[in-house]
Amino acid sequence: MTDAELKLSCRTHLPGHRAPSPAEQFAAMGEWCEARGVTHDVYGSGALIQEFEQKVARLLGFEAAVFCITGTMTQATALRIACAERGSKVVALHPTSHILKHERGNHQLFDHFQALQIGDPHRPWTLDELKAIPDQLGAAKLELPAREIGGQCPEWDELAAIKAYCREQGIHLHMDGARLWETAAAYGRPVNEIAAGFDSVYVSLYKGIGGMGGAMLAGSAAFVAKAQEWYRRQGGNVYQRTPYVVAAAMQFDARLAAMPDYFRRTKWLYEALRDYPLLTPNPAAPQANMLHVHMPVSRERALEIRSHIAHEHGVWLFNGANHAPLPGRSYAELYIGDNLLNLSDQRVRDILALWSDALATA
């Protein structure tokens, strides 16, 4: 049985949201479209997609927003344009930036910009680290929250100081906001207040939102218009975007409304983890409704434990596992969504006990 088959066979899942089958999802999308008289867009021109773009722009406090088929294309394009406007191809990126870790050198191979790493791999980069760069920067990219370090975010005052400095120095400040919606509950502030002071913001339509794919780029009307042209040049001018927009739009408001509940459940989970010291959360306190759980076993053993518990108990603990810096240790990501929210406290504690006991006997 493959991992995907094993995951589907489980009755209980800890991370994320329940994943509907294609038949369930398409049926729900069809009903939603029928109730609203939705028609297809043509190359991004249509009532539904344009209203949704405007809605996201308003939420984030920007003049305009535009759909893009992938976050990878969205961010590379945004930073390329920013560098052209600012007269420098140098972009400051955290060492764990998605661009550096997961995009196969696209920024270099397509000659979008030159990446300059900033900050410690285990912490968000700081204003002092930005000020220490002697080069003229075209842009700096800040991820809120930073997924590869467990969902960490800068302190609010630090974030405000970074925004002010970039504005003073003429540095385009871009937000990787793939999970921006999750930070509103953590910061206790609306997303437009978090996004204020950034020159452009990318948000995902499928991660916390649960859509099928796609992203939005928000910024000034002129900046967004340039991005649209660059999407065409890169093959991103998809004929009909309706399925992606519907899949996100039909649940968008409900997902945003649930973010405070997800964060409250995350805080509860942190308290529960105190009773299971073999499951160590990072960061030390929740900064979004996601975290890394560090384990005193190798990555291979962690995956074996996950598969064993899935087989024997029908419980899916986590998706992937990663090597930790220390030998014989590993960590897994947990995103707290509907699955964990809908489990009783005692059921979650029972699952944590199963997991911890397996680690103790490993």
Please give the pLDDT value at position 362. 78
Give the C-alpha separation, 112 to 79, whole Å. 8
- Which ranges constitute the DSSP H helices of 274-337? 299-313
pLDDT at 7: 95
Provide the token pair at 120: 């410690």
Mean pLDDT by 10 residues, the chain (362 residues): 92 94 96 97 96 98 97 96 97 96 90 95 97 97 96 97 98 97 94 98 95 97 97 94 97 96 98 98 96 98 98 97 96 97 97 97 86
In one-letter notation, the amino acid at residue 132 is A
List, as one string, the DSSP characters of 180-191.
HHHHHHHHTS-H
Note whether 141 and 262 are same-domain residues. Answer: no
The answer on 162 and 43 residing in a single domain is yes
Integer-rounded Cα Rg, in Å, for the chain is 21
Question: Are 11 and 153 contained in the same domain?
Answer: no
Q: Is residue 182 domain-shared with residue 269, that is, in the same domain?
A: no
Q: How far apart are CA 21 and CA 212, in angstroms?
A: 12
Mutual orientation of helices 47-60 and 242-273 as an angle, nearest 10°? 40
Give the per-residue pLDDT at 178. 95
In a domain, 158, yes or no: yes
Same domain, 333 and 236: no
Cβ atoms within 10 A of the Cβ of 298, count? 17
* Domain termination site, one of 240, 266, 282: 240
Phi-psi region of 129 (alpha: psi -120 to 50; beta: other; left: phi over 0): alpha
Q: Flag whether 247 is in a domain.
A: no
Using the 3D structure, point to which of 192, 208, 240 is the last residue of a domain: 240
Does residue 192 sit in the same domain as residue 320? no
- Residues 263, 138 within the same domain: no
What are the structure tokens assigned to 141, written together? Answer: 């990219």
Beta-strand pair 64-68/315-316: unpaired
Minimal CA–CA distance to 296: which of 331, 348, 333?
331
Same domain, 211 and 281: no
Q: Which residue among 188, 211, 240 closes a domain? A: 240
- Do 196 and 264 lie in one domain? The reply is no
> Number of structural domains, the chain?
2
Same domain, 200 and 272: no
| Residue 130 included in any domain | yes
Question: Which residues span the domain enclosing 100?
Answer: 38-240
**Which token pair is 85?**
């406007």
Answer yes or no: do 95 and 167 share one domain: yes
Indicate whether 332 belongs to any domain.
Answer: yes
Dihedral over alpha carbons 121, 196, 336, 66 (to 10 degrees): -100
Note whether residue 31 is domain-resident. Answer: no
* CATH number for the domain that contains residue 299: 3.90.1150.10
Instruction: Identify the CA nearest to 192 among candidates 65, 78, 297.
Output: 65
Token pair in block for residue 15: 């991370």
Asked if the structure places residue 12 within a domain, the reply is yes
**Same domain? 60 vs 207:** yes
Residue 321 CA from chain centroid, whole number: 17
Indicate the residue type of 279: L
CATH number of residue 182's parent domain? 3.40.640.10
For the chain, the 3-state helix, strand and coil shares in percent, each to the nearest 5, are 50, 15, 35
Q: Is residue 224 part of a domain?
A: yes
Q: What is the pLDDT of residue 1?
A: 81
In a domain, 25, yes or no: no
